[in-house]
Amino acid sequence: MANKRLPTETRICRDVERVLAQSVPPGWSLKAKPDVAAGSKRIDLLVEVASPGGETARFAVEVTRAIEPRSVPMAAEQISTLTASAMPDAIPVVAAGYLSPRTRELLDDFEVGYIDTTGNVRLVSTTPGLAILTQGADTDPWPQAVDLRSLRGRGAARAIRAIVDTAPPFGTRELADSTNASAATVSRVLELLEREAIVTRQPRGPVLAVDWQAAIRRWALDYDQTTSNTPSTFLDPRGLPSIEKKLRAAKLTYAATGAFAAQGFNPVAPARTATLYVDDAIKIADRLGLREAEAGANVVLLEPFDPVVFERVTIRDGLRCVAASQLAVDLLTGPGREPSQGEEILEWMKENEDAWRT
């Protein structure tokens, strides 16, 4: 059974040195010195990386067992201030046993390097020119059972949709009442997003701000268009124009998503497959005259994880499409080129926030 206890700072220092030794370019050398004096204070780990020509990049590393996104501003300021005053030639870095994607994103925003023991590394120096960028784990090897850590499940999905789709300020119970999600679930999801520095709340009060793009990206870590829903594949021999014509004419319960729906928001590339949320795939396939198919399928009918996918639908070019927030997470976790289209939808949402957010 794997050890679920967080590593000590001493162990993290050793593992960080090991990770970096495996990551430096060929011909470069690395030295790591723990507990180095820096004026009246001390640096947990000083890493020196020397080029084949003898130039040296120095990294002052602040080591912590774990760091949540909401703690990043304080940690970044602490190590940056220390290096600026006591070791100005050193580049500030934060290291931990594990750094979540959101934590790494925020450290990057603060121009602070990072290392974790799973292999997530971003160390950049201009003199000498050096960039060590490696990918490690995206899930915590040492999760703490006391807190909500995942946005999987129907309740969490309803909550995250409501949090993204509703412009703050709003209260927990107010949001729960308007979305048929339990107040307890909304509260736990908000706590997770607050730890991730995605929402800002007044103590014992309402939510004041939501980074909705970060919320969608965080949801995408636990959600997947095809595995979170139940897909069935079909063929319309006459192609997508035939499907579009039938959908516009028929009175059906459906909501288009994926690249098929994205064309109505921001036509990036033509869709090759029509992906539709439906309540009953067999019934809808029969109504649309589709043939079951695996090879060559051009229609995917998704029986949804929750009816929330049918809420706040919008009509685009005569087609009923999912809400922009649902479309974004579906695209980001979809097949083929859909993740890049998801990025385009996020840009569309940024430029047209009044059109999709209440």
> What is the SS3 assignment for 169?
coil
Q: State mean pLDDT over 312-324.
A: 93
Confidence (pLDDT) at 40? 80
**pLDDT of 10:** 86
Core vs surface per residue 156-174: b (16+ CB within 10 A) or e: bbbbbbbbbbbebebbbeb
Q: What pLDDT, on the 0 to 100 scale, is given for residue 199?
A: 94
pLDDT 10s digits, 42-78: 899 999 999 999 999 999 999 998 888 988 998 999 8
- pLDDT attached to residue 144: 65
pLDDT digits (tens, 9 = 90+) for 203-253: 878 999 999 999 999 999 999 998 999 999 999 999 999 999 999 988 889
pTM: 0.72
| pLDDT of res. 350 | 95
CA gap 120, 102 in Å, rounded: 12
The DSSP secondary structure of 205-266, one letter per residue, reads S-EEEE-HHHHHHHHHTT--TTTSSEEEEEE-TT-HHHHHHHHHHS---EEEEHHHHHHHH-
pLDDT of residue 295: 86
Average pLDDT along the chain: 90
What domains sit in the chain, N to C, each tagged with a CATH number? 9-134 (3.40.1350), 154-220 (1.10.10.10), 230-356 (3.30.460)
Strands 314-316 and 130-134: unpaired
Name the phi and psi angles at 276, rounded to 5.
Answer: -130, 135
